[in-house]
Amino acid sequence: MAEKKYCIGADIGGTTVKLGLFDTEGTVLEKWEIPSRTENEGAAILPDLAASIRAKLEERKLNPEEVAGVGVGVPGPVSEEGVVPHTANLGWGYKEVTRELSMMTGLPCKAGNDANVAALGEMWMGGAKGYKNVLLLTLGTGVGGGIVVNGRILTGAHGAGGEIGHIHVEDGVEDSCGCGNHGCLEQFASATGIVRICREILENSEEPSLLREGEVTAKAVFDAVKQGDALAMRTAERFGKYLGTACAVMASILDPDVIVIGGGVSKAGEVLLEYVRKYYGPVVYKAARETPFVLATLGNDAGIYGCAKLILD
């Protein structure tokens, strides 16, 4: 059998499939994208993906025997066996992703939830490099996340492990979360959540604020924090309390080596981590008190890195 020199990561999103060709040491050799054709229940997505992979191997004259396989990230729950029950964003119903793709490419395939796979990517070559127990939070439009335990993704019984955005953090919330519940972390710690907190603070105060002009966005809030804006800082305190307490709860039971914060909101940088740490320290179990918080470093590429790593494990 030929030595395995390469691996492929394919992160399937609702609009595009991001692909990466890697060597087995984690160096990305090439990145490319293809559209996700979600019409007709997403029937073309896997055939398109398989064709693109075959074309790339031919173009680069790579021997398929030297390719360890293809890891796939899916925006929904994925079982340990690589089966998805239903993936709304892609139009998929029940689908045996790894089995189908493996038959179409002739390569070994594995699949994981996209947020979980991103955690694996950050562990392999990103902010959590060198660690084996990782808690990743992705703060974007929603709050996603992934948990890696002893180097392996925590998949859970229904492929829903690491659904960090939907832990209950507040009673008596009237608005409902995208998941149907009320008072989820996502309602306070996502980009939309921060805007929600900020609007409420602006409405209940007469104080001047930089945020009274222009559009209120998560970025605008943290920019204003950096300029010492009082209402922005009050917003950041509330955000920090929700996120810091939630991280403490998770770290108390998971005891991770490191907590990684990624997603668009994390572009605010160190200042964001300060607000989170402030509320984390006093309530976390002592063993995890010094656990470092770091920023994710792979951005939108975390998925393809994690997919590639998945197939190497």
Contact set with a copy of itself (CB under 8 A): 77, 80, 131, 133, 145, 147, 149-150, 152, 154-164, 166-168, 179-183, 245, 248-250, 252-257, 282-288, 291
Residue type, 256: P
Q: How far is the CB of 2 from a copy of itself (least distance, A)?
A: 31
Q: How far is the CB of 264 from a copy of itself (least distance, A)?
A: 22
Q: How far is the CB of 62 from a copy of itself (least distance, A)?
A: 33
Q: Which is nearer to a copy of itself, 53 or 139 (CB)?
A: 139
Instruction: Give the separation between CA 159 and CA 85, rounded to whole angstroms.
Output: 9
Q: Which is nearer to a copy of itself, 8 or 84 (CB)?
A: 84
Q: Which is nearer to a copy of itself, 29 or 287 (CB)?
A: 287
Do the Cβ atoms of 189 and 242 come closer than 8 Å? Answer: yes
Do the Cβ atoms of 248 and 242 come closer than 8 Å? Answer: no
Q: How far is the CB of 75 from a copy of itself (least distance, A)?
A: 15
Instruction: Give the separation between CA 311 and CA 309, rounded to whole angstroms.
Output: 5
Q: How far is the CB of 130 from a copy of itself (least distance, A)?
A: 12
Q: Which is nearer to a copy of itself, 288 or 311 (CB)?
A: 288
Q: Which is nearer to a copy of itself, 20 or 193 (CB)?
A: 193
Q: How far is the CB of 152 from a copy of itself (least distance, A)?
A: 7
If you compute the radius of gyration of the chain from its CA atoms, what whole number of angstroms results?
20
Q: How far is the CB of 277 from a copy of itself (least distance, A)?
A: 15
Other C-beta atoms within 10 Å of 206: how many? Answer: 5
Q: Which is nearer to a copy of itself, 66 or 255 (CB)?
A: 255
Q: How far is the CB of 159 from a copy of itself (least distance, A)?
A: 7
Token reading at 85: 């029950």
Q: Which is nearer to a copy of itself, 69 or 165 (CB)?
A: 165
Q: Which is nearer to a copy of itself, 19 or 248 (CB)?
A: 248
